[in-house]
C-alpha cells in the first residue's frame, strides 16, 4: 500500500497538469473511509483511470527526467492498482503500459534524486579553529543562535551524525542530561541506535555525549 501511495504522489508531483486535464481529483479529495484515508482513490467508484490516461501520465513522468527507475516502477504499480479498481485482473496493468514501458531506458533516468555526497568536508585544522574559538560580543551571530548552531555543527562534523535519521533521533530525543559540575551534556537517541534490523531494531539504547559550547571566559569589554 505504501508503494502505491508513493506512486500516486509522484504522479501528482511530475504530471499534475496531465492529471488535472483528465479530471483526476487531487490528493485528499476522496472518501476518508476508504483504505487510503481519502488520500487517493480506494473504491472502484472513485477511480476514473483509463488505458489512454494511464499511458499519457506514465509517459509524462518519464519525460520529466526527474524520477529514478525505482520511482517509475512505483508509478507503474500505482497504475496497476487503478487497473484493478476498474475491474482488471490483480497484478496486471493497462494494455498500453507494457508496450510503453519497453520504450523506456533506465539510463535516461537520474541515478538519485538527492545527492548523498558531502559538499563540504572540514579539515582537522578547521574543526580545531571552529570549536576552540569561543563566542564573544564581537561574534556576528547572537549568543543563543551560536550555542545551538555549535552543538548541531559538532554533532555533524565531529560525531558524524547522518543528515536525516541520526539528526532526527537526536533532535527529538526523549531525554537530555546536563552535568554542570563535571562539564558535560548528553542526549538520548529516540528509538535507540540506528542500523539495527529485525528483532534488534529499536532495542539498543544510544546516547550522544558532548562538552558544553565554548564561550570566551574573559570577553573584551
pLDDT of residue 116: 60
Q: Following DSSP, what letter does each residue of the chain receive, concatenated?
A: -HHHHHHHHHHHHH-HHHHHHTTPPPTT-S-TTSTTTTSS--SGGG----HHHHHHHHHHHHHTT-S-HHHHHHHHHHHHHHHHHTTPPTT---HHHHHHHHT--GGGS-S-SS--S-S----HHHHHHHHHS-B-TTSSS-HHHHHHHHHHHHHHHTS---TTHHHHHHHT-SEEEEETTTTEEEEEPTTS-SS--GGGTT-S--EEEEPPPPB-SS---
With bands split at pLDDT 50, 70 and 90, how would you rate the model's confidence at 221?
very low
In percent, the amount of the chain with pLDDT more than 70 equals 92
Q: How far apart are CA 144 and CA 4, in angstroms?
A: 44
Over residues 112-157, the pLDDT tens digits come to 766 666 677 888 899 888 888 888 899 899 999 988 888 888 888 8
* Stated pTM of the model: 0.54
In percent, the amount of the chain with pLDDT more than 90 equals 55
Q: How far apart are CA 78 and CA 86, in angstroms?
A: 13
184 forms beta bridges with 179
Q: What is the mean pLDDT of the chain?
A: 88
Amino acid at each position: 500500500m505504501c508503494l502505491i501511495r508513493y506512486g500516486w504522489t509522484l504522479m501528482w508531483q511530475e504530471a499534475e497538469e496531465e492529471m488535472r486535464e483528465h479530471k483526476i481529483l487531487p490528493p485528499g479529495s476522496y472518501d476518508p473511509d476508504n483504505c487510503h484515508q481519502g488520500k487517493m482513490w480506494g473504491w472502484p467508484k472513485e477511480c476514473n483511470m483509463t488505458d489512454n490516461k494511464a499511458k499519457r501520465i506514465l509517459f509524462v513522468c518519464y519525460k520529466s527526467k526527474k524520477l529514478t527507475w525505482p520511482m517509475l516502477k512505483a508509478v507503474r504499480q500505482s497504475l496497476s492498482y487503478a487497473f484493478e479498481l476498474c475491474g482488471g485482473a490483480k497484478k496486471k496493468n493497462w494494455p498500453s503500459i507494457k508496450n510503453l514501458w519497453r520504450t523506456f531506458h533506465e539510463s535516461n533516468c537520474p541515478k538519485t534524486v538527492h545527492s548523498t555526497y558531502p559538499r563540504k568536508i572540514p579539515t582537522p585544522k578547521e574543526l580545531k579553529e571552529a570549536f576552540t574559538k569561543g563566542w564573544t560580543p564581537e561574534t556576528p551571530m547572537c549568543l543563543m543562535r551560536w550555542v545551538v548552531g555549535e552543538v548541531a555543527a559538532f554533532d555533524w562534523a565531529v560525531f558524524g551524525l547522518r543528515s536525516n535519521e541520526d539528526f532526527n533521533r537526536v533532535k527529538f530525543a526523549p531525554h537530555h542530561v546536563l552535568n554542570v559540575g563535571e562539564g558535560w551534556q548528553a542526549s538520548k537517541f529516540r528509538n535507540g541506535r540506528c542500523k539495527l534490523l529485525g528483532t534488534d531494531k529499536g532495542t539498543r539504547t544510544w546516547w550522544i555525549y558532548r562538552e558544553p559550547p565554548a564561550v570566551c571566559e574573559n570577553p573584551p569589554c
